[in-house]
Amino acid sequence: MATLDLINLTKQFGTVTAVDAVNLSVQDGEFMCILGPSGCGKSTLLRMIAGFEMPTEGDIRIAGDSVTHLGANKRPTAMVFQKYTLWPHMKVFDNIAFGLQLRRLPRAEIARKVEEALALVSLSGYEERYPSQLSGGQQQRVALARAIVLEPKILLLDEPFSSLDAILRVRLREELRRIQRRLKITAIFVTHDQEEALTLADRIAVMNAGRVEQLDAPTQIYDNPATLFVADFIGAMNLLQAQVSGGRIVLSGVTLDAPPGLQDGAATVAIRPEDMALLPDAAHAGAWRAVVEQISDLGHYRRALLDVGDGTLKIYLPKSAAVREGAQVAAFPRRYLIYANGGAPREVTRALPAEALTV
C-alpha cells in the first residue's frame, strides 16, 4: 500500500552486471509484472527490493523513504519465493504466525489474523497441517498467506507459480490478482511467462540484460513494442531484414511503402501474424507471392506457415478462412513496424483489399 521508486539501481556480481541502472516507479496499489528471459536480472532486481542483495549503486524508496540501507528483516516488503519456502518443522498456523509472533502481537490477535489470511487463500481449516501434507499449490497459497498477513507495503513475488502445472498456475494467478485487488496492495510479480504478465499486469516492465527495455500497459507492449527485443520477445512476430531507400522498403520478395522521413539504410520490419491478410490472387502489389506450406487448427483460430521463397512467414487466420495447404496466395501485411538505427519504431497501416481472406 505504497509507492515504490527505484533510482538508478545497479547490481554487479564481480564482472557481471545483473541489473544495470534501472529506473522504475510503481504506483500505489499497482500490479507490476517484471518480464524477461532467463538471466536478465529479474530475481536480482526483486531481491534488492526485498533486501537480500545490496545494490552496487542506486536507491530504493518505499512511500518516498529510502530503504536501501535497511536489512531484509526491517523492510516493509514481503516476498513469495518460487518453492521450498515453508518451514517444514512448523505447522501451517505457525508458518503464518511466525512473523506476527516476532512483532509480539497478542495471541488472540495472531489467531484471528492467521484465520483471516487462511480464509483469503481459501485454506481455512488447514492450520494443523505440516507443509509436507500439502500439495504444491496449497503450499504456495500458504506462502502467500504468510506474506500478506504482515500487511506489507509491497508484495514481491518471484515466479511463485512456475513449479505448478498449467491449470493450477492459471487458477492461482487469478486468485492472487483477486486478493491483490481486494487488499489494494502494491505488488511486483516476476515471471518469464509472457501470457502470465499480459493477463495479470497493470503495467509490464520488460527486462533484457539487466535493463528495462519498455515499461507500459500490456496492450501497449503488445501493439507497440518499443524495441526490437520487445518485438521479438512478446508474442509471435515475423521479423524481416530490409533496406530503406528513397521512400521504399525493400525486402526479399516484396517492396513496401516507407513512412515519410525514414532515413535510408538497413532496417527490420516487424509484422504480427494477425496483421497479415491472405489474397487469393498470387500477384499483388506490396504483398508476397506465397505457397501455403502448413495449416494448423489452434482452437479458435488457424495458423498458417507460408513459403515465400526466401523464408517462412507465420500468419493467423480466422477459423472460417478457406485456404488449403499448397494453395498459391498473396500475403498482404496490413500493419507493420519498422525498426531502424535503434530508435523508436515507425508504424504503417494499410487499407485491406476487398478480396482478403482475413477479417
Partner 1 sequence: MTTLARTSTRQRQWRGAILAYLLVAPPLLLMVLLIFIPATQSIARTLTISVDGQPGFSFSRYAAFFSDPISVNNLLFTFQVTLLTLAVIFIVCFPLSLYLRFSTGRIASAVQILALFPLFVPGIILCYALIRFLGTRGTLDTLLSLVGITGYRTPYLKPEAIVIGLVWESIPFTVLVLTAGLRQVSDTLIESARDVGAGDWTIFRRIILPLIVRPALIVFSLNFLGIFGSYTIPYLLGPAAPQMMGVFMQQTFGQYRRPDDAETQAVITFLICAFVGFLYVRTVASQRLTREEE
Ligand X SMILES: Nc1ncnc2c1ncn2[C@@H]1O[C@H](COP(=O)(O)OP(=O)(O)OP(=O)(O)O)[C@@H](O)[C@H]1O
Of Mg ion, partner 1, ligand X, none, which one sits near residue 16, judging by CB under 5 to 8 A according to partner kind? ligand X
HSE at residue 316, side-chain half, CA atoms within 13 A, is 14
Report if residue 219 touches partner 1, rule: CB under 8 A.
no
Q: Does 157 bind ligand X (CB under 6 A)?
A: no
Cα separation, 15 vs 201, whole angstroms: 33
Would you say 187 and 158 are in contact if contact means Cβ atoms under 8 Å apart?
A: no
Neighbours of 219 (CB within 10 A): 9
Report the distance separating Cα 278 and Cα 328, nearest Å. Answer: 10
> What's the distance, Cα to Cα, between the start and end of the chain in Å?
44
The answer to whether 339 touches 240, Cβ cutoff 8 Å, is: no
| Residue 43 within binding range of Mg ion, rule CB under 5 A | yes
Candidates 37-45, 66-74, 274-282, 296-304; binding stretch for partner 1 (CB under 8 A) = 66-74
Among 15, 38, 73, 320, binds ligand X (CB under 6 A): 38
Nearest approach, Cβ of 102 to partner 1 (angstroms)? 5
Using CB under 8 A as the binding rule, whether residue 148 contacts partner 1 is answered as no
H runs (alpha helix) in the chain: 42-50, 92-102, 107-120, 136-148, 166-183, 194-200, 218-223, 228-233
Q: In the set 141, 146, 153, 211, which binds partner 1 (CB under 8 A)?
A: 146
Separation in Å, CA 255 to CA 141, 189, 323, 333: 54, 42, 25, 11
Select the residue interacting with partner 1 from 40, 62, 120, 150 (CB under 8 A).
150
**Interface pick for partner 1 out of 4, 26, 49, 79 (rule CB under 8 A):** 79
The answer to the question of residue 155 lying near partner 1 (CB under 8 A) is: no
Burial class (CB in 10 A: 0-12, 13-18, 19+), 339: buried
* Interacting partner of 160 out of Mg ion, ligand X, partner 1, none (Cβ under 5 to 8 A depending on kind): none
| 74 versus 107: smaller Cβ distance to partner 1 | 74
Q: Which of the residues 100 through 129 are near partner 1 (CB under 8 A)?
A: 102-103
**Contacts (Cβ under 8 Å, ≥6 apart) of 53:** 11, 44, 47
Q: Which residue's entry shows cell 491449470?
A: 167
Nearer to Mg ion, 81 or 288 (CB): 81
Question: Taking the complex as a whole, how short is the minimal distance between the CB of residue 255 and ligand X, in angstroms?
Answer: 40
Nearer to partner 1, 52 or 222 (CB): 52
User: Exposure pattern of 232-268 as b/e (b: 16+ CB <10 Å)?
Assistant: bbbbebbebebebeeeebebebbebebeeebeeeebb
| Interaction of residue 236 with ligand X, rule CB under 6 A | no
Is 137 an interacting residue with respect to ligand X (CB under 6 A)? no
Q: Is 125 in the site for ligand X (CB under 6 A)?
A: no
CB of 180 to partner 1, least distance (A): 18
- Which CB atom, from 78 or from 317, has the smaller least distance to partner 1? 78
Chain residues that interact with partner 1, rule: CB under 8 A: 50-52, 71-74, 77-79, 81-89, 98-99, 102-103, 132-133, 143, 146-147, 150
Chain residues that interact with ligand X, rule: CB under 6 A: 13, 16, 18, 36, 38-44, 192
